[in-house]
Structure 1
Amino acid sequence: MFPGGSGDIGLGLDGSIRHGENFVVRTRELWNQRHYAILIPDTVNSLNLRGHRSSASYERIIEDLLTFAQQEKTGPVFLLGTSQGAIAAANGAAHAPPTALAGVVLSEAVSVMGGSKETVFSATPQDIHAPVLIVANHTDRCNVAPPQEASPIAASMTGSSDVQILRVTGGSTLSKKTCGSLSPHGYFGIEDDVITKISAWMETKLR
């Protein structure tokens, strides 16, 4: 799972996390309760990943993460990225071998060019062959991830024969910024409902 923002979750040697507000980070126990093993990468030396997630160098990191996940033999592998992290998930999926992934989930994907100078369209989405779920919250007011862009994102994935859009509504706002984690952009207050719907889609790819 790939968090948004800078990507820095502040992972300590003891497993503690300093920056745990991001959707995929704060909901990891909800995924565990649904019997999913979760892998969330941190950055190296607090490197800011903005502008790097669609790069070839970061794709190689994702390739290593996929290899590690497959070696763990916990089951089929999905890539899930939220906001800026959706760029990383798309990049990894675009370069993964055809049988490597059970699916990819892009939630509130950055689709409008902003300060990071990259979007999900920078990650060659046309090269993704795995099943794709695009999650878009109608209540999201993040200027670089407007929910109406879900359809253009789906249309760009010409290499996949299975692309679906999950539209949700709701969420509360605690963050000061509309693109903050504790806002509709990060499904704050509707986490369980969103995860239930995403996991239901994932289950269909395991049959």
Structure 2
Amino acid sequence: MAAAAAAVGMLFPSFGQTQELQRDKVAGEAAPALVVELRLHSGMRQRLLYISPPKPLAAIVMLPGGGGNIGIESNGDVRHGDNFVVRSRELWVQRGYAVVIPDTTAHANLRRDRSTPEYGRIVVELADFARSQAGVPVFLLGTSQGSIAAVNGAAHAPGGDVSGLVLTESVSRMGKSGETVFSAEPENVRVPVLIVANRSDRCNVAAPGDAPRIAAAMSHSPEVQVRFVSGGISRSRRACGSLSPHGYYGIETRVVDLIARWISEHR
């Protein structure tokens, strides 16, 4: 715990929130956030947002999709805040969960990198940071391309580091990124898993019908649950965009509540 604390370079108080949920608005004021420059074992620095209620029930490492570059500013503003795990962050805090949301290093594009052993180790370091700050069980939650990183982190985490894995609208079919959740060693995941799939999702690389196939690949997990939802609003031009059923746009509260209940049962 002391080592993790020593690896934190800078912390800035922040109250930034880049996008208001248009249908499921968060009640009350935003929770104070910290912008952290986490020094990784590789020597690189990983910028992240850390937001927590006073006494968190658990901590969740949120892994965004797309290229992964969400543009966390030093004051806590987020330049690219449409992604589901980014725009829903206050919903999680209001339900009693601390959240860690990483940016990319040096504005890099994470496509093709999320399934590598090197990135798996970064996810494990993010989980270690979350545990050092909150002292509570840590869960990994990935969405879309971020599900690849979440599977990779869970597959490489030492026993006891991660309490569970949540996958949402996971990339299961090969596209331009050159990797899927099946590239990230799902057979090495040994923690409970929740897979959420939106029947209304039309993203060509994240077919909701593939959810049972993803579950079957978690052959060493003690428990895998698949939960289907439906609905959402299409505001993105692309079916795989964040403001669409693929990103649970318009049904954020319903999805967050579903996942929060599962985490509560497994923490």
- The answer, yes or no, to whether TM exceeds 0.5 is yes
Picking from 32, 39, 49, the partner of 2:93 is 32
Q: Which of 219, 222, 227 matches 1:161?
A: 222
Match of 2:84 in 1: 23
**Comparing both structures, which one devotes a greater share of its residues to helix?**
1
Match in the other structure for 1:56:
117
TM-score, scaled relative to structure 2: 0.76
What is aligned with 2:236? 175
Aligned to 1:94: 155
Q: Per-residue displacement from partner, 1:157-201 (whole Å, max 9, x unpaired)? A: 001020000100000100000000000000000000010001001
8 A contact 2:71–2:80 mirrored in 1: yes
Matches within 5 A, 1:93-172: 93-172=154-233
**CA displacement at 1:62 relative to structure 2:** 1.1
Structure showing greater Rg: 2
Greater percentage in strand: 2
Identity of aligned residues (%): 56
Q: Is 1:37–1:74's contact at 8 Å kept on the other side of the alignment?
A: no
Gapped regions of structure 1 (runs ≥ 5): none
* CA offsets 1:118-141 (integer angstroms, 9 cap, x no match): 000000000000000000000000
Q: CA RMSD in A?
A: 0.7
Matched, 1:191 2:241: no
SS in 2 for 1:106: strand
Q: Which 4+ stretches in 1 moved above 3 angstroms?
A: none
Q: In structure 1, give the amino acid aligned to 2:234.
A: T
The yes-or-no answer on 1:69 pairing with 2:133 is no
The 1-side partners of 2:185 and 2:242 are apart by 26
Distance 2:78 2:265 in 1: 32
Deviation at 1:103, TM superposition (A): 0.6
Residue aligned with 2:100, SS: coil
Displacement, 1:44? 1.0
Structure 2 residue aligned with 1:5: 66
Aligned residues: 206
